[in-house]
Amino acid sequence: MKKKKSKKESQTTGPVAAAIIVLALLLSMAVSALGSWEAQEAAKDAAQQAVEAAAQAGAQGPFAHYRQLSDPLLVLVNDQAPLPGSWQVTPRMVDDEVVDIRMYEDYTAMCAQAAREDVWFWVASGYRSVDEQKEVLARAVEVNKKAGMPEKEAKEDALRTIARPGYSEHHTGLAIDLNDVSDSFESSKAYAWLQKHSAEYGFVQRYREEKSHITGIDKESWHYRYVGRAHAAEMERLGLCLEEYVVYLQKQGIR
């Protein structure tokens, strides 16, 4: 998982951002009762504005004290929101990788349908424990130190491309990296097929170019997140990434 270098914004944006959030919240509450297409569009804009404004509110960011929704399929793990301490993975094997049981059935169904259409993809990386993430990070720090960087710089540099232990979505068992885990995946037949069909099986491309200012992660064509069929369809319909979607649901009173 590549992590985008985040910009530190001035603290003085705080009150402005708070005012924008309140306005966005009021707007979304006012229109969500209408239930029309326009209302959906407005709600979508409000959710987006709230996330963007809050993202500028400080270095800590809008999800620093994030309270998880009760639906485990919507667990949010990003640079600010750690894996919940109570999180449990029930392992299932796919392509020599561990994934959580929650995605297993839909993933195998998706793969089987793709294969019938002569489209092939595989899980290159699935579940990763916090300890494994620590090892990955420690190895990268060592490489940097051997290249002559002092300890602090070696760590900072490694953290630019490797998520902090506890803050990788791969800890959930609901995230998968496909095929060669490279940008070339975007020009593959498998990618084109997934763009059309992954949501039908409950998977969304987690990190898109146009959402990188919200997710904090550069575009990753190979990283898919299981959220279940209903949520995937809704996220696709509204054009929301997971950060925006959970804010959108919270505004509708979902806990």
Contacts with Zn ion, residue ranges (CB under 5 A):
1, 177, 223
Q: In what order do the strands lie in the sheet with 220-226?
A: 123-125, 175-178, 220-226, 203-207
* Closer residue to Zn ion (CB): 223 or 251: 223
Give least dist CB 50 to Zn ion, A.
Answer: 26
Give least dist CB 163 to Zn ion, A.
Answer: 9
In degrees and rounded to multiples of 5, residue 99 shows phi and psi of -130, 165
- Residue 23 tokens read as 């306005």
> 1 and 217 in contact (C-beta within 8 Å)?
yes
Amino acid at 163: A
DSSP string, 15-77: HHHHHHHHHHHHHHHHHHTT-SHHHHHHHHHHHHHHHHHHHTS-TT-TTTTPPPPS-GGG---
Amino acid at 180: D
Reply yes or no on whether 220 is catalytic: yes
Give least dist CB 104 to Zn ion, A.
Answer: 18
DSSP three-state, residue 107: helix
Q: Determine how many CB atoms are found less than 10 A away from the CB of residue 73.
A: 19
CB-nearest residue to Zn ion: 223
* Closer residue to Zn ion (CB): 219 or 223: 223
* Closer residue to Zn ion (CB): 80 or 133: 133
> Is the Cα dihedral 246, 64, 222, 114 positive or negative?
negative
Give least dist CB 110 to Zn ion, A.
Answer: 17
| Element spanning 28, H or E | helix 14-32
* Closer residue to Zn ion (CB): 154 or 174: 174
Give least dist CB 177 to Zn ion, A.
Answer: 4
Distance between CA atoms of residues 190 and 224, nearest Å: 13
Set 52, 97, 169, 220: catalytic member: 220
* Closer residue to Zn ion (CB): 3 or 44: 3
- Would you please indicate which residues are annotated as catalytic (active-site) residues? 220
